[in-house]
Structure 1
Amino acid sequence: MRTPFPAFLPLRLLFSLGTTWLFVQTYFNTSWKVVSLRSWLGTVIYQRPCGNQKSCPESSFAFKVISGAANVVGPSMCFENTMRDSLGRGLAGVGTNGQLMKTGVFDMYSGDIKLLLDFLKAIQSGTIVIVASYDDPATKLNDEARKLFTSLGSSHASKLAFRDNWNFVGAKGLKNESPFEQHLKNEAAKNKYDGWPEVLEMEGCIPKKMD
């Protein structure tokens, strides 16, 4: 013989459920909403070229330049997600027209300045030039090389000295000074490292046509 459920059980069950719902709403402040599978799995994040903070318009190229750290860590350069890093002592240079890239590393302490001069003289009109320093950018840098950098839009090449830090983006045929340049002097009282200034980092958008 089955034992019948007490008549008041449904009422007790409803009361218990209601009390539990009120407790959760009061103390946990929960809310319900419909969540699609796409959003639950996560949104696809598109990384900006070179990992820059801001996106560049279609009329520009994205770049990032990081100078060397003392004589320990080499510089790195990025152009439209194409990276060049662990570069050697002196000046690292990249020449690009947006598609083709020419790179070179030039020892400015004990190397041959002719190699840098040949690199700079071979740059054709409209070519974008990206330069980063490491350790020493200036001991071998003569007047001819400084003038060639100035013709690319540099306003600091003429002032570069022993163990200065320098980042520069210019172009062959540029009529005005480039807005993309950083220069930090080697000054014992201000240097971050023992004998070298701190690292310089520069990023931005280079117009595809620099005038």
Structure 2
Amino acid sequence: MRLSVILRIMVIISTLMATWFFTHIYFNRTGKTISVRGYLGFSSRITKEKTSRNKCDNSKKCPKDFFAFKITSGAANVVGPSICFEDNILMSGVKNNIGRGLNIALVDGATGVLKKHEYFDMFSGDIDPLLTFLKEIPEKTLVLVASYDDPASKLNPEARKLLTALGSTYAESVSFRDSWVFLGAKDISGKSPFEEILKNKPQQNKYDGWPEALTVEGCIPHKVI
């Protein structure tokens, strides 16, 4: 009998301890429920992931006094290009302000404020609007360019020269249906490091008649010029 009593007391104590343990886990002292995900550490990891997102979804965070940007060319003649600057989408299919040819956004190099954006049809359009646009770019202006479908059929030597003066390496050679992305600046010194081109080569094209889309991203200092 004594052994039986002792065993019963031990069972009661064990039950009470187990009840206290689980109550302590799921409820804090104020009576509020504690999330199991939070208890296991998931919530802190999710918060960290959210706070670690970089502007324009870039792979790296930009230092202080630098602007973040990402430029993506169009994919064939189906998916339009996108231009992001300081986490603001300046041009895209969603904003309905893009077109086939050259999509160009002008941004103040000191403040990062959008000045102007426009697209120019380089297949069947007139070259004069592009020439006027390029000639009127103010000093200390960043120039973000994304191709869509065909960026070059209407480009003449004057237009190519004006684009080269903005820091482009490939403006002289970009041709029919090439994928091209570029960030330059008015009166830049030297060539821009932010430029990519993929030539239209039938045997290498990802799409039927077009190369794959290109992306260039990075950080550019305020008052770069």
Could you state the TM-score of these two structures normalised by the residue count of structure 1?
0.83
User: 1:174 Cα deviation (Å)?
Assistant: 0.6
Q: How many Å separate the matches in 2 of 1:60 and 1:12?
A: 66
Q: How does 1:69-80 map to 2 (within 5 A)?
A: 69-80=75-86
Which letter maps to 2:5?
A
Q: Distance in 1 between matches of 2:165 and 2:81?
A: 23
Residue by residue, what CA displacement relative to the aligned partner does 1:63-96 show, whole Å, maximum 9, x if unpaired? 0111000011110100112211012100000011
Say if 2:100 is the partner of 1:89. Answer: yes
List aligned pairs for 1:58-207, cutoff 5 A.
58-83=64-89, 84-86=91-93, 87-97=98-108, 98-207=112-221
- What is the alpha-carbon distance in structure 2 between the residues aligned to residue 194 and residue 144 of structure 1? 31
- Structure 1's unaligned 5+ residue stretches are 1-5, 21-31
Asked if the contact 2:67–2:221 (Cα under 8 Å) also holds between the matched residues in 1, the reply is: yes
Shift of 1:164: 0.5
Cα distance in 1, alignment partners of residues 157 and 99 from structure 2: 23
Amino acid across the alignment from 1:109: F
1:91, 1:143 → 2: CA distance? 16
Report the Cα offset of residue 12 of structure 1.
4.7
Structure 1's consecutive aligned runs of 4 or more residues displaced over 4 angstroms after TM superposition are: 12-18
Cα deviation, 1:77-117, whole Å, max 9, x if unaligned, reads 00112211012100000011012321000000001111111
Aligned to 1:208: 222
- Could you say what secondary structure the match of 2:172 adopts? helix
> Quick one: distance in 2 between partners of 1:63 and 1:15?
61
Measure the CA separation in 2 of the matches of 1:77 and 1:15.
Answer: 64
Distance in 2 (CA, whole Å) between partners of 1:207 and 1:186 is 33
Helix, strand or coil at the partner of 2:184: strand
Following the alignment from structure 1 to structure 2, what is the Cα–Cα distance between the partners of residues 72 and 166?
A: 16
SS of 2:206 mapped into structure 1: coil
How far residue 58 of structure 1 moved from its aligned partner, in angstroms, is 1.9
Tell me how far apart the structure 2 counterparts of residues 54 and 161 of structure 1 sit (CA, whole Å).
31
Residue 48 of structure 1: CA displacement?
Answer: 2.2
Contact 2:100 2:149 in 1 (8 A): yes
Specify the code of the residue in structure 2 equivalent to 1:58: K
CA displacement at 1:203 relative to structure 2: 1.1
For 1:179 and 1:66, locate their aligned partners in 2 and report how far apart those are by CA, in whole Å: 16
> Match of 1:159, SS?
coil
2:105–2:114: 8 Å Cα contact kept in structure 1? no
- TM-score w.r.t. the length of structure 2 is 0.78
Aligned-residue identity in percent: 51
Bigger mean CA deviation after superposition, 43-52 or 83-92:
43-52
Quote the offset at 1:14 in angstroms: 5.4
